[in-house]
Amino acid sequence: MKGFKLDQRFWIIVSLLAVYIIWGTTYLVIRFALEGFTPYWMMGLRFVIAGGGLFLFLRLRGSPMPSLRQWRSATLVGALLLGGGMGSVAMAEQAISSGLAAALVAVSPLWAMLFSRLWGRIPTRREWIGVLLGMLGVMLLSLEGNLQANPLGIALVIFGSVCWAFGSVWMKHLDMPPGVMGTAAEMLMGGLVLCGMALLRGEPFPTAPTPGSILALVYLIVLGSLATMTAYLYLLRTVSPTLATSYAFVNPAIALLLGVVIGGEVLTGSALLALPVILLGVGFVVLAKRQE
């Protein structure tokens, strides 16, 4: 990662590993949480608790209150990333497998590259090669026999990936709260948007969730939100949009492997071929010469 200081490179690597590995597990955990929660309430509570708790902690530590303009930016980004992105994935996982949902999210880097051009950023040749390899790997992964497709579920995940990619690119051009406060504000406002969507859909508030779904929600709050959203927003501020969203190529492999280990699924030849192709695509994106 030429051009980055040693300590910065360390945190970039740590952040990439966090979004690669932890987010890869959340697709299966979301399915567990849906056993006791409705989709938008589950995601709304997840981010309101995570964002609200982090916001209170930062304020007690003396962090300044975001300005009205920064709250507006956090609301826009939260609505796109969490309301449109995460909310759509949760809705889709009622109809499709967690592995297929993760595979479809892999189009995010491609959308991110296209949206980056709205602000004049031209992707490098290596980024294009990496994304095309990643997409090829995901297409091979989608042939896995254990994945059950559903047209509405597929449409929801694609819509969510578009919202996520656009919000990820647009965020770099908005006046967001600085540092970790930006993470807290974005999660808090996005969580409130999701709760509002739950009310509009008429989803019943969860009053008797199962113990397993509660544990899944705690996992999503602590690791799936506080740890990984902090890492992801750091990447968005530090590296290219293509590299920041390259997690989408690794998450399907992890989600599918978890299905094998925990769910007893069997991998076919297409999946075994897809995994190295996906990793090769990520390698091209990581090594790409970024044009800031």
Which pLDDT value is given to residue 283? 72
Cα(107)–Cα(205) distance, integer angstroms: 32
pLDDT > 50? residue 204: yes
Q: Dihedral (C-alpha) 17, 103, 163, 56: value to the nearest 10 degrees?
A: -40
pLDDT > 90? residue 217: yes
Q: Which helix (H) or strand (E) element contains residue 50?
A: helix 39-60
The pTM assigned to this predicted structure is: 0.81
Which pLDDT value is given to residue 289? 47
Cβ 112 vs Cβ 239: under 8 Å: no
Task: List, for residues 241-272, the tens digit of each pLDDT value.
Answer: 778 877 777 887 788 778 677 766 566 667 67
Cα(165)–Cα(167) distance, integer angstroms: 5
Share of the chain above pLDDT 70, in %: 89
From the list 253, 275, 242, the residue with the least C-alpha distance to 130 is: 242
Domain ranges of the chain: 6-287
Cβ 176 vs Cβ 73: under 8 Å: yes
Average pLDDT over residues 101-114: 76
Integer-rounded Cα Rg, in Å, for the chain is 18
Cα(75)–Cα(60) distance, integer angstroms: 22
Average pLDDT over residues 21-26: 90
1-5, 41-45, 201-205, range with the lowest pLDDT: 1-5
pLDDT > 80? residue 67: yes
Average pLDDT, the chain: 84
